[in-house]
Structure 1
C-alpha cells in the first residue's frame, strides 16, 4: 500500500482499515466512545490500483479519510498513520520518558525546593536573625504569590514563543541565583524584594512544564508522566527537610543555619542549569535523541493528537475563547480551594509539626515520610486515572481525603493523632491539584486557548497563596484553628465546583453527539472548524 502526504481536516469518506464506512458515517464502536478525538484527513491510498483510473472506485480511493487511533485501533502501523499502537509510538515514548521526564522532574523538584525553603528557614531562625515582627513573616510568604500569579499565564504562552530550552534554562538559573542571594538578606525589606523576584521566575515553571507535556504526549498518556513530575514536588519537600537538618548541624561558622539552607539549595539549582541548555531543543521534533525517522514521525504525530499544531501562531481570538468559556472559571475556582490547603501546608507544615511537640531539628525530619507517602499515593492515582481515562473521581476523592485529614488535625489535641491527620490530608493535596490541571488542559484543543485557560486556572489557584500566607496566625499555635478551618471549607467548595465542571462536560458531549447523529441521519458532513478546536463535535471531553 502506498501512503502519500495527508492534508488535514477534509471531511469526506470514512475508512476503517480497507473498508469504506460511507460518507459522514461513524462506526458504532466509535460513536459511543466519549474519549475519541476524530481528525478528518484526506489521504490518497492505493492498493494495486491505477493512479490514473477514472472509474468510481478509483475516485473513492482518492477520498478515503482516516481518523485518529490514539485510543481506538482504527489507524494501524499498516496504514502508516501515527497512533498509540504504532511501533514507532512506543519507540519515541521510551526516549521521551528516558530523557525529557527526568529533566522535567528535576526542574519541578528544584523549583519547589527553592519555593518552599522559607518554611524550613523560619524554624531554623530566619525571623529571629532578621528581627521580623508581627505579621512580617506572613507578608514575606504572601508577596511571593503576588508576583507568582502574574507570571502563571505568561509562562504558558512564553513556552511556544521562546521555546522550552531557553525558557527553562533562564528560569532555573534566575531562581537559583535569587535563592542564593536570599542568604545575605539583612532586613524585612530585603527579604520582601527577593521573594517578589523569586515569584516571577517560579511562576513560569509549573505552567511551562504542564504545557510542554501536553505538547509531547497524547492526553491519555499524560497523567502518568505528570505523576513523575508532581511526585518530584513531594520529594523536594522531603529533601528540603533533610537539607535543613544537615544545615542545622553545621558548627563553627559565622553564618546561621537558615543562611546555609538558601546557599545550598540555590547552588544546586545553578549547577543543574547546563542540563537544560544542552539537553533540550527549541522544538520537540528537533531533540538530539531522535533519529531522522523518529523526527518525521513526531511531526506527523502532531496531526493525530488534536492538541498541538507546530505551525500555529498566537491568536487573540483563542485567548478570548478561553476567557469566555465558563468551564475555565469553574475549574479555576475549584483549584483555588484546592491550592489554599496545598500552599498553606507547604510553607507552614514544618511549623505545624514543631507545634506538635517536636524540636526544630526533628520537625525537619518528620516532614520527610509525610511527603514520601504523598508521592507514592499520587503516582498510583495518576496511573489509574490514565488507565481508566477518568479525572473527576480522583479530584473528588482527593478532596474528601484532604477534608478527613484536616478534620483530624482540627479536632484532636493529641500530638500523635494530629500527626496521623497530617499524613491523611497530605495524601490528597497533590492529587487533586495536579489532576485538576490535567483535566482542564486535556480538554482544550488549540494551544493558545489551552495556554490561556491553564494560565487563568493557575492564576486563581496560585492566588490562594496570597490568602494562605495570611490565615495561619502565629498566636493560634499549636492548633491553627482559623487557617485549617478555612482550608476545610474551601475543599468542600472544590468538590462542588468539580461536580459542576463534570456536568458541563457531559452536557456538551451530549450536544456534540446530537449533532453527529443528525448529520449521520441526513447524510450531511459533520461540521468542523479548525479555530473551534475542542468545541467541534469530533472532540469528546474526558470525564
Structure 2
C-alpha cells in the first residue's frame, strides 16, 4: 500500500479541528491528511507564519498553569487541613481516642481511589471548565459541613464524601497539563503546578495560626473555624473557576483558529493524534491495562506518596513533640513547606536521605534542631520527586484515552500511599516515630526500583521499535507497514512509530 501526503494546501482546505486528521483509502493508495498544511510532519511552523510560538506558549502558560495551580492549592488545603485542626482541640471535642484520627484520614482515600478513572471519563464528557469547578464547589461545601461535625461518626461521613468529591480534581488537572504541552516542555509546568501542594502546607500553617485565634467566637473552637472559613474560600474559588478555567486545546475559545491548529500540530508532531473526540468507554478504558508498562507509573507514585503524605499529615504533630505551643507549631510548619516548594522547582532530591536522618534518634539535647532540620530535607525530597514521576509517565502516554486512564490509574493507585501513611505514625510511637520513618524509607526504595524498571522498559521498547523500523527500511515488511493511519492513531504510544521520552 502506498502512502501519499497531501501538502501545499491552505488551512481552509484541510479538516477542521473537530474532524481531526484522518485518512481515506482509494484502491491501494492511502491518502493521509495531516492536521496542518505543511509538506512534512515537522513543517508545521512554516504552515502558520503568523503564529509566534514563544508568544503562544506564554499565553497558554498564563491561562492554564496559574489557574489550576491556585485551584489545586485550595483543594489540597481542604484535604490536609485536618492536620492543622488537630492542634486546636479537634481530638478532644470529637473524642478521637486511640487511632480514630488515623481512621478518619484513611476514610478519605477509599472513594478517592475508587473514583479516579470514572471521574476522568466524566471530565471528557462535561469539559474541564464544568466538571472541575463542580467538584471543587462540592468539596468546598463538604469542608464547611466538616466544621460542624459533632462526633467521630460525623467526621467520618464528612471525610468520606470529601474524598468522593475530590477524586476527580487532581487527575483531571494533570490530564489537562499533559494535553497542552510537548513532553520536553511539560516538566517545569508539572512542577509549578505540583508545588501548590507544598504551598498549601505553608499557607495552611499560616492561615490556621491566624484562624486559630478565633477560638471561642460564637462558641466554636478554632478547629471548626479552620474548616468553615477554608471551605468558604474553596467554594468562592470554584464559582470563579467556572469563568476562568480553560478546556482542552480543541475547545479553547480564547485562542484564534490558527493558534488552535498550531497547538494541535505541535502536539501531533510530538505524540501523534490526540483523538480527543473519540468516546471513552469502559471497554476502551480496560484495554489500556493490556500494556504491562502501565504498572510502573502507579508503583513509582505509590512509593513517593507514602513519605509525602507522612510529612503533610504529621509534620505539625512531630514539631509539637519538640515542646512548642500550638501557634508556634503552626508557624514552624511553614518554612519546611516553603523550602519544599522551592526545591520542587529546582531539582528532585532523593527523599530517602531525609527519612534516614529522621529515623536515627539524635541525642536528647539535639532533638529539636536536627529533627526540625531533617523535616526540610524530607518534605523537599518527597515534594520534588512527585511531579517528576507524574510528568514522565503521563506525558509518555499517547492520545486522550491512554492519558485519561493512565493518569487516573497512577494517581488512584498511588494514593493508597495516603492510607499507609495514615497508619504509619501512631500516637503510641511518639516522639521518635521509628516505625513511621522506616515505612517511608521502604516505600522510597520501591519508588526508586519502579523508576528504574520503567526506564529500562521504555528504553528496551524504543530499541525494539528502532530495529523494526530498520528492517522495514531494508525491505522487510514489519508491523507498522501493516497498520492503517486510523489504527496507528488509536494505538497512541503503542504505535510502532512512537518513541518514548526517556
Deviation readout 1:57-112 (Å, 9 max, x if unpaired): xxxxxxx96124xxxxxx2532449xxxx943323322221122221011110011
CA–CA distance in 1 between the matches of 2:253 and 2:198?
30
Counterparts in 2 of 1:470 and 1:239: CA distance versus 1, 3 Å: same
Partners of 1:231 and 1:406 in 2: CA distance: 20
In structure 1, list runs of 5 or more residues that go unmatched: 13-39, 47-63, 69-74, 382-393
Residue 69 of structure 2 corresponds to residue 127 of structure 1: no
Evaluate the alpha carbon distance shift between residue 337 and residue 302 of structure 1 in structure 2; reply closer, same or farther with a 3 A threshold: closer
Quote the residue 1:56 is aligned against. Answer: none
From 266, 273, 298, the counterpart of 1:332: 298
Counterpart of 1:207 in structure 2 is: 171
Say whether residues 1:375 and 2:341 are aligned partners: yes
Partner of 1:143: 107
Deviates more, 1:252-261 or 1:176-185: 252-261
Work out the CA distance in 1 between the residues paired with 2:35 and 2:172. Answer: 38
SS at match of 1:249: helix
User: 1:484/1:44 Cα in 2 relative to 1: closer, same or farther (>3 Å)?
Assistant: closer
Q: Deviations over 1:231-269 (max 9, x none)?
A: 111111101001111022225521111111111111111
> Is the CA contact 2:181–2:267 (under 8 Å) kept in the aligned structure 1?
no
How has the CA–CA distance of structure 1 residues 280 and 427 changed in structure 2, closer, same or farther, with 3 Å as cutoff? closer
Q: For residue 149 of structure 2, give the secondary structure of its aligned residue in structure 1.
A: coil
Per the normalisation by structure 2, the TM-score is: 0.88
C-alpha spacing 1:292/1:235, structure 2 compared with 1 (3 Å)? same
> Which digits, 9 at most, give the CA deviation of each residue in 1:376-395, with x for residues without a partner?
111123xxxxxxxxxxxx5x
Pairs within 5 Å for 1:90-239:
90-239=54-203
- Offset at residue 359 of structure 1 (A): 1.9
CA distances 1:412-461 after superposition (whole Å, capped 9, x unpaired): 33221111111111111122222112111111112112222222211221
Aligned positions of 1:13-412 closer than 5 A: 41-42=32-33, 66-68=40-42, 75=43, 77-80=45-48, 87-250=51-214, 253=217, 254-280=219-245, 282-298=247-263, 300-301=265-266, 303-305=268-270, 306=272, 308-381=274-347, 394=348, 398=349, 401-412=350-361
Alpha-carbon distance change, 92 to 45 in structure 1, aligned in 2, over 3 angstroms: closer
117-126 or 521-530, which deviates more: 521-530
Closer/same/farther in 2, CA of residues 474 and 251 from structure 1, 3 Å limit: closer
Q: 1:484 aligns with which of 437, 449, 472?
A: 437
Post-superposition Cα deviations, 1:479-498, rounded to whole Å, max 9, x if no partner, equal 11111111111111211111
Q: Retained in 2: the 8 A contact 1:145–1:199?
A: yes
Q: Distance in 1 between matches of 2:389 and 2:35?
A: 41
Q: Is residue 2:493 matched to residue 1:530?
A: no
Q: What's the CA shift for 1:333?
A: 1.8
- List per-residue Cα deviations over 1:173-213 (Å, max 9, x = no partner): 11111111111100000000000000011121110000011
Aligned residue for 1:304, secondary structure, equals helix
Larger mean Cα displacement after TM superposition, 109-118 or 338-347: 338-347
CA separation in 2, counterparts of 1:337 and 1:303?
32
Alpha-carbon distance in structure 2 between the residues aligned to 1:294 and 1:451:
24
Offset at 1:364?
Answer: 0.7
Task: Please tell me whether the aligned partners of residues 153 and 458 of structure 1 are also in contact (alpha carbons under 8 angstroms).
Answer: no
TM-score (norm 1): 0.81
1:264 and 1:232 mapped to 2: Cα distance?
19
Contact 2:14 2:33 in 1 (8 A): yes
Which digits, 9 at most, give the CA deviation of each residue in 1:458-510, with x for residues without a partner? 12211121221112110111111111111111111211111111110011001
Change (3 A) 1:426 1:280: closer
C-alpha offsets along residues 311-333 of structure 1, whole Å, 9 cap, x if unaligned?
22224454233212221112212
Q: Contact 2:302 / 2:417 at 8 angstroms: preserved in 1?
A: yes
Task: Give me the whole-angstrom Cα distance separating, in 2, the residues matched to 1:501 and 1:301.
Answer: 26
CA gap 1:95/1:231 in 2 versus in 1, 3 angstroms: same
The verdict on how the C-alpha distance between 1:198 and 1:283 changes in structure 2, with shifts beyond 3 A counting, is same
CA contact (8 A) 1:231 1:375 kept: yes
| Contact 1:248/1:257, CA 8 A, preserved across alignment | yes
Please state how far the C-alpha of 1:10 moved relative to its aligned partner: 6.3
Q: Which residue of 408, 415, 421 corresponds with 2:368?
A: 415
1:217 to partner: Cα distance: 1.6
| Structure 2 gap ranges (5+) | 1-6, 16-20, 26-30
Instruction: Decide whether aligned partners of structure 1 residues 43 and 208 sit closer, same or farther in structure 2, where only a CA change above 3 A counts.
Output: closer
